[in-house]
Structure 1
């Protein structure tokens, strides 16, 4: 064999080895990718099974245990014509200092620039405790240093990763000692591993209602929600608590603490929730009872959708509710200072007065036998992304 032929033969063998080497490398890469895909699918599938195993809606129309009060408080009964006070406050699980933003909140600046919150858990345990105490102080200050007769709270955590396991129910019960308390769970989840860099974690949260008058019974009513995958894992087990408080004329004050859906594309869940609540309110009024429903409605109330100065567009999560959406004989109590003070800020950017989107989604709905005035309490959103709403009311003719 000539030298030229030997060189050609050698090159062919080397080319063959090179091609085989590339093929082996590609095969190894493909096997690695497939193995990683199998592992990822196993992890995701296993996590989905885990979440599904921890998902269970609380049945509708369940009695809720009422915390005990002192004998003197338990004997207190409401009187027709008497003047009373109440407050509703979404405390945002103690996370929302003015610079706090939430990862599920999206928006747009006026020029169309998209915005989105980043945080999923409170900054620290100390911050949660400070915000919780600040919330208590705001409620007391709104009524001249004394607590209102009735306190309606939303997003109150019991033992959650996102709030560093601060028991806010215990904190409020301690701050309003002697009040009867009713806690209705509306967010109970397994470990939510999103966002990946700082997971929301396991959540146990709900509605806390405190009463300085005798509560004879309390019921948890389950709102209809979107139970599609994966929305059902991240939305709350929405509900309202309904307390019965006797009045000296033989009727009852039916007090409702409500928190409707927020991240509700198309508004379908909120429409069904509003219809359900309307049926309950009408039924109670037909019995001659006095009815007050307070809470976070996640609807812009009293024409407040674009009422406040802002450099942002109206976010998609805001729906609108007015008296036309309520059953006959019911109305929203318009805050006397509605034009000056909003009850809620957007959580897609840190709070900046005149820049951040604001509206009023918190407040009270009353039956036509209740006379009431309301005030949005200006806290500057110092300890929550909501402001409290204070109510002063009297019970009129129950017929």
Structure 2
């Protein structure tokens, strides 16, 4: 074979091999894609000794996106314009996890709604955070719903995110009579959807001292990086229909979590430094104030931000911060008070939100 033919053949062979590898990878991730059902029963780990919630008692709910114990103040994240893909180290994850347990225990609540808790993820050094919290809160019922279960996330190409198994997690000081994982509508297009989140809500049914009237505690983590708001709109409509169904049947409803959108009345520039690049703020939009109904009550604290941007490690006054974590509750739930726990984003890119409620008869 002469050199001229060889020069032509080698690039063709390289191109063919590249197409084969890419095709094989796409076939693999498509076959391995996490495909949850629309409704799935969530396994309940028993621990609570309280069978019913008394309506004459106030109770506290703490909500916190713990950022898989990897997005602490010293870290950034590539999706937000930073460089890091994983937590800084296994020791950092373990330290943040211990701090999370201590903060939850210090702010003793009847319910804990946790988002971005990892079970088996490269980004958090495969530490089972769900198991750690379950073992710590032995007198609570606990339940988990996966919203991210990918064998390999290939982005970024130079240092892939890899294996991710993560979701939302609820701890209840009262017996959970029933728990369901409900798949939220909407998805990214193929092939991106094969390695992306499958957003869900986790619904826990709590019996009360009023026969046939339950408290439905909804743990949610709505879509991020949804610049056009297409996915969030579908998710909000789904939540609206579900919440109204429970309420119209005579029950109480509290939905809490990371909404990934601004609460009504929060100024977009409330905590924003002057040097925040606009391309990092494409996801910012407002939740509709009356998307469930005018009598439904938003419950959040506007005095302290609950989330920071991760384009660089946290420096107070330099990173963009705002309020996207909190609750909405049905008209028959009284809000006693709510406050964000200011931790200076030391252990997570979100702050805990602690609220107190009472069920109205």
Q: What 5-or-longer segments of structure 2 have no aligned partner?
A: none
Q: CA RMSD in A?
A: 1.6
Give 1:78's match in structure 2, choosing from 50, 53, 61: 53
Give 1:377's aligned residue: 341
Task: Choose from 117, 128, 133 the match for 1:156.
Answer: 117
Match for residue 355 of structure 2 among 391, 395, 398: 391
**Unmatched 5+ stretches in structure 1:** 1-22, 106-115
1:261-316 Cα deviation digits (max 9, x unpaired): 10213111100000000000001111111110000110111333221141314501
CA 1:128–1:205 in structure 2 vs 1: closer, same or farther (change >3 Å)? Answer: same
* TM-score normalised to structure 2 length: 0.94
- The CA deviation at 1:137 is 2.0
User: What's the CA shift for 1:99?
Assistant: 2.5
CA contact (8 A) 1:94 1:131 kept: yes
Given that 2:42 and 2:144 are in contact with CA atoms closer than 8 Å, whether structure 1 keeps it comes out as: yes
CA distance in 2, matches of 1:298, 1:81: 33
Q: CA deviation at 1:26?
A: 4.6
Partner of 1:277: 239
Assess if the C-alpha contact under 8 Å between 2:147 and 2:200 holds in 1: yes
- The residue that corresponds to 1:332 in the other structure is 298
Match of 2:14 in 1: 36
**SS at 1:119 equivalent:** coil
**Residues 95, 384 of structure 1: 8 Å contact kept:** yes
Q: Aligned residue for 1:89?
A: 64
Counterpart for residue 307 of structure 2:
344
What is the alpha-carbon distance in structure 2 between the residues aligned to residue 161 and residue 84 of structure 1? 36
Moved over 6 A (4+): none
TM-score (norm 1): 0.85
Structure 2 partner of 1:356:
319
Q: Does the 8 Å contact 1:235/1:261 carry over to 2?
A: no
CA distance in structure 2 between the aligned counterparts of 1:140 and 1:179, rounded to whole angstroms: 12
Larger Rg: 1
* 1:167 and 2:128 correspond: yes
1:249 aligns with 2:224: no
Could you list the per-position Cα deviations for residues 39-70 of structure 1 after superposition, in whole angstroms to 9, with x for gaps in the alignment? 1111111111111011132111211111111x
Which residue among 100, 112, 116 is the counterpart of 1:135? 100
Q: Is the 8 A contact 2:152 2:195 kept in 1?
A: no
Separation of aligned partners in 2, 1:75 and 1:140: 18
